[in-house]
């Protein structure tokens, strides 16, 4: 399984490079104004893509992202299964470790529900907060009282994220 994922991973840079090219060829967009965001593991993906592609994204935000999947109880076994036992090779898939290794974004916006069942064991936004503080990355982390991990949480605050991105994309 680890070898299959390594083959897939070798294709991810091509996918990451081809997707914007495909969009640029087919839509009248200003590709110098890109933002990225996601929810949960997709939020982590958005953060890691932004960290790995400096200068591409003017804005990055996430709803309830897992922040350190290499150590969370429920994602660590997946790392072991798909990436193999070499923990050093996991660093490029972990946002907090990418930051510790010198990757940067200009700023981050993160919303997290206080009633999220994954908050303490898996998501752990305080780890992202510590990593950003140590690296000097401005992080706007908002804990939303009473919200969980659901669509309702995301849809309630989506307009704020879109406005935040728009301020940066059209500055």
Which are the catalytic amino acids? 40, 116, 149
CA 134/CA 128 separation, integer angstroms: 10
For residue 76, give the nearest of 84, 6, 57 by alpha carbon.
84
CA 13/CA 8 separation, integer angstroms: 10
Give, to the nearest 10 degrees, the angle between helix 76-83 and helix 2-26.
100
Contact 81, 69 (CB under 8 A): no
CA 33/CA 72 separation, integer angstroms: 33
User: Radius of gyration (Cα) for the chain, nearest Å?
Assistant: 16
Q: List, in sequence order, every residue forming a beta bridge with 59; answer none if it has no partner.
A: 35
CA 100/CA 71 separation, integer angstroms: 15
């Amino acid at each position: 399984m680890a070898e299959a994922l390594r083959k897939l991973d070798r294709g991810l840079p091509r996918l990451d490079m081809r997707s914007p090219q495909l969009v640029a060829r087919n839509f009248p967009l200003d590709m110098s104004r890109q933002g990225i965001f996601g929810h949960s593991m997709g939020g982590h993906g958005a953060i890691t893509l932004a960290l790995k592609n400096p200068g591409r994204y003017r804005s990055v935000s996430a709803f309830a992202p897992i922040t350190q999947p290499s150590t969370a109880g429920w994602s660590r076994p997946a790392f072991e299964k798909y990436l193999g036992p070499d923990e050093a090779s996991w660093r490029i898939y972990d946002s907090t470790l990418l930051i510790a290794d010198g990757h940067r974004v200009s700023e981050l916006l993160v919303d997290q529900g206080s009633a999220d069942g994954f908050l303490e064991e898996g998501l752990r936004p305080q780890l992202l907060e510590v990593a950003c503080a140590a690296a000097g990355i401005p992080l706007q982390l908002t804990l939303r009282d009473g919200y969980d991990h659901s669509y309702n949480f995301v849809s309630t605050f989506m307009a704020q994220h879109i406005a935040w991105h728009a301020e940066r994309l059209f500055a």
